[in-house]
Each structure stands twice: as C-alpha cells, then as structure tokens.
Structure 1
Amino acid sequence: MKKIISIIIVFITISSQAQTKKWTLIECVQYALENNISVKQSELDLATTDIDKLTAIGNFLPSLNLGSSISENTGLSFNPVTNNAQTTTFLSVTGNVNVGYTLFDGLRNVRTLQRAEISKLASQYRLDKMKDDISLFVANGYLTVILNKANLEVLKSQNAVTQEQIDRTEQLVEAGSLPRGDLLEIKAIDASEKQNIINAENNITISLISLAQLLLIKDYENFDIEDEGYDIVDGGIADKSISEILSKAKETRSEIKIAEQDVELAKKDLQIARGANYPTLRAFFGYDTRYTNATSFIQVTDPDNPSVTQEIGVVEGTGQSVVGTFPNTVARQVGADPFLDQLYQNDGIGYGLSLNIPIFNGFSTKGNIKRSKINLQRSEYQLEQAELDLESNVYQAYVDAKGAFKSFEAAEIALESQQLAYDYAKERYDVGLTNAFDFSQSKLRFDNAKIEVNRAKYDYIFKLKVLELYFGIPATELKF
C-alpha cells in the first residue's frame, strides 16, 4: 500500500511539474525549428535535391535492362527458332539483355550534376533563411508575451496603491477632512484600473495562444513562458557602423546567397541547353536468346529404300540416258530440344556504337537556349534587386534600432519625471492640498509612463536582435 501511495505521489508531482513548465526563449526557438511546418517543407525541398543529385550521378553509369516475353501461338505462325511457317499450337519464350553507355552528349551529364550540387546549396540557404524568419517570429511573439506580462504587473502594483488610497480616503471622509466626492473619484479610478487589469490578462492569454500556435502546441491552458531574466543585452552591435553591418550582411545573409545560386543555376541551364547542339555518341551491347516447344520436320534417309536412281540427262549425239543414284529421304517430325539446350543454341550477341547528330528539330533547341538566356538575365536582375533590398533592410533595421534606443532613453527620462510628479501629487493629496481628480490624473500619467518604458524596452530588444541577425549572428545564438 505504501508503494502504491508513493507511486501516486511521484506521478502527481511529475504531472504538476509538467503542467507548470515554463518555456524559455531558446526552448521555444529550438522547438519551432524542429516542428514548424514551413521548416519541415524546406527540409523536404533539401531532401529532394539529394534525389536530383543521385539521378545526375546515375547518368554517368551504364544502363542495364533485362527483357523477356512468353507467348502461345495457335494456327499458322512462324517458328521463332526455324523461322518456318507452320500450322500448330506452340509455346515460345524470348529473353534479352541490353547494356548502353553514353560516351558523349555535349557535356550535359556533367552540367546536370553540377546543377544538382548548386540546387542543393540553394535549398540549404533557403532552409537557413526560413529558420531565421521563424526564429524572429518566435522571438517577437515571445517578447510580446513578456511585454503584456510586464504591463500587467504595472497595473496590479498601481491598483494596490489605489486600494491603499481608498482605505485612507474613507478614513479622511469619515473624519470630515475630505469631501465624499474624492472617495467616489478614487473608487472610479479603482474600477477603471481593474478593467485595465482584465484587458491586460486577456492580452496575455491571446499572446500566449498566438505563440503556442506558432510552435504548434495545442495545450494552450498549460502553456506558459519564463518571463524573468530578459533584459537589454548588446554584444557591441549598437556601436558598429552601418557600412560594417552592411558589408557583413552581404557576406552572410541567405537572401544574397540564394540569389547568387539562382544565377549559377541559370548559367548551368544555359550550358545544358547549348549541349543539345552537339552530337551524342553511345555504346551498346545486346544479348538475346529464344526457346520454343514447337515440333519441326527434318529430312532423313528412308531405311526401307535408302536410295533412288533417276535419269539426270542424255548424251548428245547418241541419245543415251545418263542416270544417277541419290539418297532417298523422307520428312520426319521431331520434338523440341530441351530448354537449356535451346538457350545456348539460339543465342546471339550484338554490339557497336551509335551516333546521333542533331540537324533540325523544329527550333526546339534554339528556343530552349533563348529561354535559358532570358532566365539568366532575370536571375541576374533578381540578384541585383536582392542586394538593393538587403541594403534597404539593413539601413531600416539600423535606423529602427537607433530610434528604438532613443525612444527607450526618452521613456526612462519621462518615467523619472512622472515618478517625481506622482510622488509630489500623492504627498499633496495625503495632506488634503489637492483633490482626487488631480491626483488621479497624475497617477494615470505615471502608469502610462511605466507601460511606455516596457514597450520601448522590448521594442528595442527586438530591433537590436534583428540588427544582430543582419550582422551574421545565428538566430539560436542571440543573447537576451
């Protein structure tokens, strides 16, 4: 019984720990990279390139094909062994082995293999970009939850102060030191703050659900994150110049690498299309054999009358007959030879070279070459556009990060001022030198200043991390 109780207690403890697990940002990012559908699709695209490469390698190997057929013929048919027409029913079996090898095809096999390798590299870069994008989405969603939780703590702490003011104001009203209107004003503030707390709790729930959906986690009720220990961590990126960040981005960002590989793919496609203008030289080897169970007829000497004498001519002038003796043969039906014997007796081998020289194919090759040239120009334009977009995005991220930092500094200065103003208003209200409305306005400005500091802080953290990504820091190595 004690063992059963102990097992139940352990199970309850484990279940409780599982329910109260709080996810860190790194855990969320890693989980998303392992389970996100878009990432899985990119991984499948990468796996497909391995198949393309395997196929390209196979083009360098000889082709080997085995063939066989079996049939039964009734009526007038040609015996596949004797090639004689006969009216009967017989079974025939044929088999063959063919080997072919491409000696030259305008280097298209070589170009195809090179293209497969480039395609695999491009797919890897697309996968890396997808992981960076997903990591940013997760980080943004995660920081949104933290921001909402921080705002909720601000609202709760300020409401606790309001509760104290309500108690104090009730005492002053009962003592006749303050009018009853001040108490009503404070209670109205309390009601408004509680409504804001409810809205803040709803914002947390919604942001948690959004993050869980991004992670493909369906247990929304028990999903929560670790909301402590996240602060502004600058690894020195804020002190770097825009030119340094831009130069690093061009070296490391997947957008540029993808566009560069697309250009290389277009070049290979053009080379493959041009290769169709060259002759194709192939070597071949074939082996075939056949079997039939059809009976056949052979000529044999008649044992009863082995020879016959026949006139073969006359002597000119005398008219004397000239006779000769010949074997007397008769047709005899014989059965088919054994299966294995026929396979050896009826086999044949063929080998040689085949040359195919393209002369005219309805402008198909010419059209493919022109189409490949256009695709190459298009990919070159896309590379140029990708470089321009990257430069624009880096500049925007740099300006956003600088602006977010200044906004955060201004919010902190504003909070200090509102803190002083709130403390002064509270002191005046406590001694009855200001009314409840003026005090509530000062308190509202103080609350908004705290919320604005939180917003500016996490906005700066996110934009700083975006800038670090452009500098080439992997998403999984970002520090918060």
Structure 2
Amino acid sequence: MKLHQFLIIALLTGLTATAQQKKWTLQECVAYALENNISVLQSELNVEQAEVDQFDAFGNFLPTLNANASNAWQSGLTQNITTGVLETQTTRNFSAGANVGVDIFRGLQNQRQYQRAKIAKLASDYNLEQMKNDIALNVANSYLQALLNKQNLKVIKAQNEVTQQQIQQTSDLVEGGVLPQGDLLEIQATNANELQQIVVAENQLKVSLISLAQLLLIKDYENFDVVDTDYEVSGAEILTNSAGQIVSSARENRFEIKIAEQNAELAKKDLQISRAAYYPTLSGFMSYNTRESDRNRVDQVVDPNDPSELVEIGFVDGTNQAVFTNSPNFIFNEIEPLPFIEQLWRNDGLAYGFQLNVPIFNGFAARNNVKRRKIALKNAEYQLEQTELDLESNVYQAYVDAQGALKSYEAALTALESQELAYQYATDRYDVGLTNAFDFSQSKLRYDNAKIEVNRSKYDYIFRLKVLELFFGVEPTSLKF
C-alpha cells in the first residue's frame, strides 16, 4: 500500500513539474490573450449586446399582444343590488382581456432604428477586431521585451564566466610576479560589477515576465516563462512597400477608419430618427374583454299570488276620466349567479379602431433634438477626418521608425564586429602582459555593451516591423516571427 501511495505521489509530482516547466511561445501568448484578455471579452459582450439591440429593433415591426386577468374580493359596506339596502358584505369579481396594437406609420422611425441597429452591430464587430489588434501588439511588445532581457542576461553571464577565468589567470600571474597586484584588483572589481549587473538583469527579466503574465491574466507568476528563442528578423519585406502603399492599405483594412465611418453613419441615422418626431403617427388597436361575478342576480317574474294590476294609462279628453288597463304584476327575485364559463361568454366584448397623433407643439423639444443630432453628425464627420489624418501620420511615423530601427540594428552589428576584434586583440595583449587590467576591462565592457545594443536594436526592429504589418492589414495571429 505504501508503494502504491509513493507511486501516485511521484506521478502527481511529475505532472506538476511538467506543468510548471511549460514555456510559452509568442504565438501561444497571442492566441491565449485573444481568448482570455478582459478587454477582448468585454468587446465580445458589446457585440452580443449589439445583436440583442438589433433583434429588439426588428421587434418594432411586429404587433404587440398583451393579456390581463384580475380576480378581486371587495369587503365592506356596499349596496345590495337586489334590495338597494347598504349591507356589510364580501363580493368577488373576475375580469380578463387581451389587447393587440400595431404601428402603421411612425415617420419611418422603426425602419431607421433597425438600420441604426445593424450599423451599431457592424461598429461593435470592428471595435472587437481593433481591440484584438491592440492586444496582439501589446503582447508582442511585452514578449519581445522579455526575450531581450533573457538575451541580455545571457550576455552578462557569459562574459562573467570569462571574467572568472581571467581572475584565476591573473591571480597565477600575480603570484608569479609577472603582473602587479593592481591588475588582479581591477579584474576583481570588474567581476563585482558584473555580478551586480546580473542581479539587475535577473530582476528586469522577472518584472517583464510578470508584466506579460498579467497581460495574459495568468496568476502563476513564479512558474510563468517564455520559450528561450533567439528570433531571427522576419517580415522585413514589408519595407519593400512605400509609405504611401502602406497608408492606402491601412485605409482599406484598419479598423480605426471603419469604426469612425460607422460612427458617422450612426450619427446620420440618429438625425433621421429625430426628424420622425415631426410626422403624425398612426396605430391600430383591438381589445377583447369579459367579466364574471359571484354576486346573485335579480330576476323579474310575474307574482303568482297577484298576477295583474290596474295601471292608469291616461285621461279622457273633456271628462278627465281616468283610463286603466290590466298590466302584469312583476316582482324581483334574487337568484344564484350563472356558471363561470357562461358568464364569460355572455359578458364579453370587442373594441377596435385606429389612433392618430398629430404633433402640434411640444416646447421646441423635437426641433432642438434635431439640432443636437446635426451637431453630433458634424462632430462625427470631423472625427472621421481626424482619424484619417492620425492614421496617415501613425503609418508614416511607423515606417520611419522601422527604417531607423533597421539602420540602428545594422550599425549595432557593425559595431559589435569591431568591438569583438578589439576585445580579442586586447585579450591577446593582456595574456602576454602588453596591456594592463584597466585597459583590458574597458575593452571587455565595450564588447559587452555592443552585444547588449545588438539585442536591443534587433528586438526593437522586429517590433517595428510587426507594427507595420498590422497597419498593412496582416491578421494578429498571422504576424511573421
């Protein structure tokens, strides 16, 4: 039994270790963010809300049907319908009905609202895609920053290993009397400085990984890590297009323009809807009602004990002699109410017709609302124009930044090549005692900085290319890495 428990614990431990060792690729981070980021999820909810609003606007074309029923008891001092005497009694009354209404004409308001709902749905779709683009770019930037910090940490650690070897070599030379004690102290000072840089670089890497994990809504910061890949520069062919070509493609594909265009269309529909208040409205209606009560009925019958009576019906002209006739002698009896169903069909009724409302004066509310909508439309048109200008400016800026990043990367490679040769030359001279430790340390520092600058310029260049690709219309999940 203990062996089984041990095996289960070992298996679970192995699975946990495997889960903890997972390292994320950039494509996995982008895909995960597009499915789980809060901003993306909120945009998806906005799309669902727009679908509901569109269905709601379609419902305005349909008739309305409502039913009602009421069963109430009334207790207190009320008049007896048979005797006419006030009595303390309890009565019950039931009523039911149904109403149908339909809009025949509302100044085309229903049509305009449905058109507006479709435009709003399209705008929500564009907002969702724009949010995905922004999230993908943010994830790529954070991911590349983490990779840059990883590469820089590698450079510093690798150079520190060289420094450790130099300490041992210099120590042997000092003990042999070849080099002075100051050279050993200089190398040791360089080692201490590099160890401090390693701590700083490790902290920077940890912070960048935490920032990326937060962007992905991953709470296990301690075990979150990215694939240690040295990405090659890809997608540079985007620079074969001119800035004007990228601007044209951005105008056709970027969602900033599409969103601004849909907002302008929404403002136009709002103006048309507000103008509907100037027109009369015509609606049709039909209602059905019935009722039932538990109160006794009053029935009129001939008195069997005195079936007739003389009733004066007039006078004879000239003599004023009264004229009488025999008339049935009716009496009133209180009887039980009719059955429930019979009362319903006996007491039902139907009403139908049309209702016309003509706006005459409403305190300038309709006119002022139209003016507000005109202002909103003009503002939306200005916003569309400004969005086009901003997009063009952003594309040109991104194009120039990408070209500048390319030149910076090429210059960094050239500088690294030169610093590598200089460092190798300084190493050879130091090994034979032709240069002191200070000059050797400075050469090594310049070589280290050149490597770090190559890493920085490289990942900056990659990021600038991704920005241009998004402007050109590349899908976030299709970015070239």
Aligned pairs for 1:80-479 (under 5 A) are: 89-234=90-235, 236-316=237-317, 322-479=323-480
CA RMSD for the aligned pairs? 1.8
Distance 1:336 1:409, change over 3 A: same
SS at match of 1:236: helix
Task: Give distance in 2, aligned partners of 1:436 and 1:459.
Answer: 34
Task: Give distance in 2, aligned partners of 1:199 and 1:279.
Answer: 75
Displacement of 1:14: 1.6
Task: Give distance in 2, aligned partners of 1:77 and 1:265.
Answer: 62
Distance 1:77 1:384, change over 3 A: farther
Distance 1:159 1:331, change over 3 A: same
2:244 aligned partner, one-letter code: S
Displacement of 1:25: 0.7
Task: Give distance in 1, aligned partners of 2:383 and 2:313.
Answer: 95
Unpaired segments ≥5 residues, structure 2: none
Task: Give distance in 2, aligned partners of 1:311 and 1:265.
Answer: 82
Displacement of 1:312: 3.8
Per-residue CA deviation, residues 360-391 of structure 1 (Å, 9 max, x unaligned), is 11111111111110000000000000000000
Displacement of 1:321: 5.4
Q: How many residue pairs get matched?
A: 477
Displacement of 1:297: 2.5
What is residue 77 of structure 2 aligned with on the other side? Answer: 75
Distance 1:266 1:54, change over 3 A: same
Distance 1:77 1:42, change over 3 A: farther
SS at match of 1:281: strand
Distance 1:438 1:382, change over 3 A: same
Task: Give distance in 2, aligned partners of 1:418 and 1:360.
Answer: 85
What is residue 12 of structure 1 aligned with on the other side? Answer: 13
Aligned pairs for 1:26-37 (under 5 A) are: 26-37=27-38
State which drifts further: 49-58 or 379-388. 49-58
C-alpha contact 2:40 2:128 (8 A) present in aligned 1: yes
Task: Give distance in 1, aligned partners of 2:391 and 2:375.
Answer: 24
C-alpha contact 1:89 1:294 (8 A) present in aligned 2: no
Task: Give distance in 1, aligned partners of 2:352 and 2:324.
Answer: 51
Distance 1:320 1:112, change over 3 A: closer
Distance 1:465 1:8, change over 3 A: same
What is residue 23 of structure 1 aligned with on the other side? Answer: 24
Task: Give distance in 1, aligned partners of 2:456 and 2:309.
Answer: 124
Task: Give distance in 2, aligned partners of 1:423 and 1:120.
Answer: 64
C-alpha contact 2:236 2:465 (8 A) present in aligned 1: no
Unpaired segments ≥5 residues, structure 1: none
Percent of aligned pairs with the same amino acid = 58
Displacement of 1:335: 2.1
Runs ≥4 residues deviating over 6 A: none
C-alpha contact 2:315 2:321 (8 A) present in aligned 1: yes
Displacement of 1:336: 1.4
1:215 aligned partner, one-letter code: L
C-alpha contact 1:62 1:100 (8 A) present in aligned 2: yes
Task: Give distance in 2, aligned partners of 1:395 and 1:157.
Answer: 40
Task: Give distance in 2, aligned partners of 1:314 and 1:134.
Answer: 105
Task: Give distance in 2, aligned partners of 1:77 and 1:133.
Answer: 77
Distance 1:158 1:327, change over 3 A: same
SS at match of 1:232: coil
1:377 aligned partner, one-letter code: K
Task: Give distance in 2, aligned partners of 1:438 and 1:307.
Answer: 145
Per-residue CA deviation, residues 420-471 of structure 1 (Å, 9 max, x unaligned), is 1111111111111111101111111010000000000000000110011000
Displacement of 1:296: 3.3
Task: Give distance in 1, aligned partners of 2:161 and 2:209.
Answer: 25
SS at match of 2:292: strand
C-alpha contact 1:212 1:223 (8 A) present in aligned 2: yes
C-alpha contact 1:397 1:463 (8 A) present in aligned 2: yes
Displacement of 1:319: 6.5
Distance 1:98 1:319, change over 3 A: closer
Distance 1:140 1:321, change over 3 A: closer
Displacement of 1:32: 1.3
C-alpha contact 1:282 1:353 (8 A) present in aligned 2: yes
SS at match of 2:219: coil
Q: Please, what TM-score do these two structures have when normalized by structure 1? A: 0.96
Distance 1:429 1:324, change over 3 A: same
Distance 1:78 1:105, change over 3 A: farther
Task: Give distance in 1, aligned partners of 2:144 and 2:318.
Answer: 130
C-alpha contact 1:281 1:353 (8 A) present in aligned 2: yes
Displacement of 1:5: 4.9
Distance 1:451 1:78, change over 3 A: farther
Distance 1:58 1:168, change over 3 A: same
Task: Give distance in 2, aligned partners of 1:298 and 1:324.
Answer: 24
Displacement of 1:353: 1.2
SS at match of 1:223: coil
Distance 1:151 1:77, change over 3 A: farther
State which drifts further: 5-14 or 231-240. 5-14
Distance 1:442 1:95, change over 3 A: same
1:91 aligned partner, one-letter code: R
Displacement of 1:315: 3.9
Per-residue CA deviation, residues 250-273 of structure 1 (Å, 9 max, x unaligned), is 001010010000000000001101
Displacement of 1:299: 2.3
SS at match of 1:103: strand
